[in-house]
Each structure stands twice: as C-alpha cells, then as structure tokens.
Structure 1
Amino acid sequence: MKDTAKHQGLRNQLASVLSQKGITDKNVLEAIKKIPRHLFLNSSFEDYAYQDKAFPIGAGQTISQPYTVAFQSQLLEVKKDDKVLEIGTGSGYQTAVLYTMGAKVFSIERQNELFKSTSLLLPKLNIRPKLLTFGDGYKGLPNYAPFDSIIVTAGAPMIPQPLMAQLKVGGRLVIPVGEEGQAQIMTMLIRKNETQFEKHEFGEFRFVPLLENKN
C-alpha cells in the first residue's frame, strides 16, 4: 500500500489534465489529487494509473476513466454532509472521490467479488462510507432515502423508477442512459417537486451495463 511523492506528482498532473478538459469544481479536483488511484487497480496497471483511461478490475467490470468520475461528481454539486447514493461501487474509486468531497456515501455493489475486495480496501485507505452493501442497484436503498443526490456508475436502458422516488426535492440523479453495447447519454434529473423532474443531457459516454438482480 505504498503512496509516494512520485504518485502525488502524477495525481497533480492528472488533476491538471482534467481541468484542461473542463472540470472546474475545485472540490472534485482536490479529491482527485488526494486519492491514490493506483491502489484501486491491479498492480500490473500501476504505471498507467494516472492516465485518463479506464481499466479492467475483474468480474467483467472497469474502473472508470478519471474524467468520467470527475464529470459525474461535478454534476452532483456535492456539499459537505450531503447524503449520496452510489449505484455500482466497483473498485471504490468513485466512492473515495465522493467521500473525500465530504459526502455521506451509501453504496451498492451487485458483484460479490468486487463487493468483498472493495470492502477490505476502503478502510485501509481511511475511506469510510456510511454504508457499503451487496445488492440490486435498480432498487436503491429505500430504507435510507431520501438522498441529496444519486449517482449511477453503469449504463442503464432507462432510469429506474425506485431511484427517482428516493431523490429529495431539489436533488440530482446522474445516470448514463442507453442500450447495452452502445454509447450512453449522460443524463441528469433534478427533482422539482413530488411529481416533476427537470432533465439535462451531456453527450455520450461508455459504461459497463447496470446489472439487475436475476436471482
């Protein structure tokens, strides 16, 4: 679990690349500078950890490109102590960014292998989500709702109704929407009142598919 001055230098460079690509939220950029992304990857990828690229992490999943993580995080406009629901813990890197930004993170992972490894990794890095659980992201976490914001880190063919229901009025839901095998459209819903949502779209991204519990 080594984190060196060289790694820190590479993180600063990465933050500067993201800034050039249009990430302006200081809170997001500071989190990118602090989090040792190389520790979330298989050691064979360590030399590439601070490139703006996605990498495989096992169980057919990927750690998202840093720009994608930063872009989604920026859309959420996280404030300190916001309750944020994350659908798809994956490697835990996005969880770490949200936590470092001051959010109280509730995260669900559908792949048991990833859930186990990430549950062990995060505490070693002093990253302590409010809840890290194994389950079906489509259903959200109704017992802990409502949330200030919800982030989905996998592509879904449509926006799951239970997630919309678990969002506070004024809250933001950020989700890549599109069919499997195609690019998804980054979509943000802002809840205006009990029944109305305002929709914004932000261009194409590529994500692994959101898995529904088939059991």
Structure 2
Amino acid sequence: MNIEQARFNMIEQQIRPWDVLDQDVLNLLSIVKRENFVPAAYRNIAFADLEIPLAAGQHMLFPRVEARVLQELAVKKHEVVLEIGAGSGYMAALLAARGRSVTSVEIEPELAKLAEENLAANGVSNAQVVLGDGALGWKEGEPYDVICVSGGLPVMPQEFLDQLKIGGRLAAFVGNAPVMKAQIITRVDEKQFRVADIFETLIPPLKNAVQPSRFKF
C-alpha cells in the first residue's frame, strides 16, 4: 500500500468534494498522520470512506466529516477546546494542531487509554484525555472557545451552550435517525445563539446523551 498516495486520494476524492477548501485544513490532513490513530488491524483502510471500528463498539468518524467539522469550527491558535468523545485521539490531534489546548473527555476506559497513548506517540503535547461522562459537557475548564461533540445528540442540552464563551463555537450532530444535522452553534451574547446547519448525516448517539421529553397529554 502506498500510504502517501492513499492520503492524497482521500483528500482529493473524499474531502475536497465535501466543500473542504480551507488550505490550512487540507495541509493539516497531510501533517497529522491518520494511519497512526487507526487500530493496527485497519491500518490498510485508514483513508477509506468508512467509519473505522474502535473498541467498546465505537467508530472513528468518516474522514470527510472530521475535515468538514474542523473547517467549520475555524479554531484559532489562542483558543481552548473541549472535545466530547476522544475515540482514537485523531480529532483531538487535529484540534490541538490548530488551538492552544484541547481537553478530550472519553467515557470508555479502553478508548481513553488508546487516545492518550496515540496522542503521546505522535508528539501532541497540548491535548489531554480525561476519563469521564461528557454527555452534559465538562465544567472543569469552562467556558470554552470551541466545543466539538463527536457523538450524536438527540437534543442539545443547555449545559453545552452555557459552557461556551461569547463568540465561541460548538459543533454537534443533533437529532435522531434517519436524518441528523451537523450544526455549528455560535454564542452571540449571554442569551443568543446562532445555529447553522452544515450537512445531514447519521451518527451513533453519545453514551448517556440526553433524550427528548416524551410527555403525553
């Protein structure tokens, strides 16, 4: 397998056609080695248009989804980032390359260990993995400039919005099957938020995600 050719093909055939045109993001996909964050058994398909399986029944997001979210969040060098769902650590590595620091909260011990090891092995020193339940965000370190939720949310908990700084952005996959919306939510001021629907997708729900109320009248 020619890894560099496969990486080039991923960027040109999957990611660029998905309106990921920010050259800094495209360059970053060449710098942060995705194959180093993929379980060894799947290394040969590290660049395929697939959700690669991880431990505990979890999956890596599609490469095009990771890249599009990264582009839309537009993380700046001075910004503090919260990620919910560390997975293999790949998205945390991408976010860390753009921001000041990343806290990645992972509920599955096996994945928290994997992400921590992958980040260390790839020299990512400004991202930490915390074992915990981030279904309502993570109060330690709030407020955040950027929040990236890597699992589905049937509804958006107010707690996430409260943990954003004014001017901060939150990326989340909101709704239920068959169609969910990838959203970028920007905090305009203390009480107002602007919601942009970026694309439609289907992402497994975050563990312990808040469910919609089911009142009957």
TM-score, with structure 2 as normaliser: 0.89
Count of residue pairs the alignment pairs up: 209
Q: Deviations along 1:176-205, whole A, 9 cap, x unmatched?
A: 0112x5332111211111011111112311
Query: RMSD value over aligned CA atoms?
Result: 1.9
- Aligned pairs for 1:104-143 within 5 A: 104-143=101-140
Residue number in structure 2 paired with 1:186: 182
Per-residue deviation, 1:97: 1.1
Q: Is structure 2 residue 64 aligned with structure 1 residue 67?
A: yes
Identity of aligned residues (%): 32
Residue number in structure 1 paired with 2:202: 206
SS class of match (2:152) = coil
Aligned partners of 2:41, 2:133: CA distance in 1, in Å?
A: 30
Structure 2 unaligned runs (5+)?
Answer: 210-217
TM-score, with structure 1 as normaliser: 0.90
User: Residue type of the partner of 1:210?
Assistant: L
Aligned partners of 1:60, 1:182: CA distance in 2, in Å?
A: 20
Per-residue deviation, 1:110: 1.0
Q: Deviations along 1:73-92, whole A, 9 cap, x unmatched?
A: 11101111311111111111
4+ residue runs of structure 1 moved beyond 4 angstroms? Answer: none
Aligned partners of 1:98, 1:155: CA distance in 2, in Å?
A: 19
